[in-house]
Homo-oligomer: A and B are copies of this chain.
Amino acid sequence: MHLRAIGRLHTPFRTLAECPRNGRKPDPPPSCEAEVFSEFVPGLRSLDGFSHLILLYWLDQVRVPELVFTPPFDDQPRGVFATRAPHRPNPIGLSVVAFDRFAAPGRLSVRYLDCIDGTALLDIKPYLPSVDAEPAASMGWLAAHATRRRTVEERQ
């Protein structure tokens, strides 16, 4: 099972230390760009009209997976599959991003990325609320640490 980069992500975060805990933490979120290499640009046809996308990318700073660890904001050891931490056996990052527009053919303006500038892009999927949205899902041990989203009223 081999992967190849289909593009590259451009973010303002140059080091791991600069990366936010998730893409919703910075408020307001910075504008980022998903660059798709020219050979894959035909695959973007009909992407207009989707307000949100799922981006998969390769967390290349991970050297050794850690199956159990104590998160910095917690006091108990947790399994890596009960977290979104990067040091996973297969270090694939996932973000649900807002897709604002094509900055150019093959360059997507997006918000809510959390990864280092230059991260390899693996896949773009359209976000489908009919199968991907579970707003009432329960968050287990992470409920106490949830990133709060502004309400519609607060955003106005």
B135 touches A135 (CB 8 A): yes
Residue from B43, B138, B143 within 8 A of A81 (CB atoms): B43
Residue from B2, B4, B131 within 8 A of A24 (CB atoms): B131
Q: How far is the CB of A93 from chain B (nearest CB, A)?
A: 10
Interface string of A115-148 (1 = CB under 8 A from B): 0000010111111111111111111111100111
B140 touches A54 (CB 8 A): no
Q: A32 within 8 Å of B by Cβ?
A: no
Residue from B6, B60, B139 within 8 A of A50 (CB atoms): B139
Residue from B23, B94, B125, B129 within 8 A of A84 (CB atoms): B125
Report the Cα distance A90→B55, complex, angstroms: 12
- CB-CB < 8 A to A135: which residues of B? 129, 133, 135
Q: How far is the CB of A18 from chain B (nearest CB, A)?
A: 19
**A71: nearest chain-B partner, CB-CB:** B46
Residues on A facing B (Cβ under 8 Å): 1-6, 22-24, 36, 40, 42-52, 54, 56, 58, 60, 67-68, 76-84, 88-90, 92, 94-96, 112, 120, 122-143, 146-149
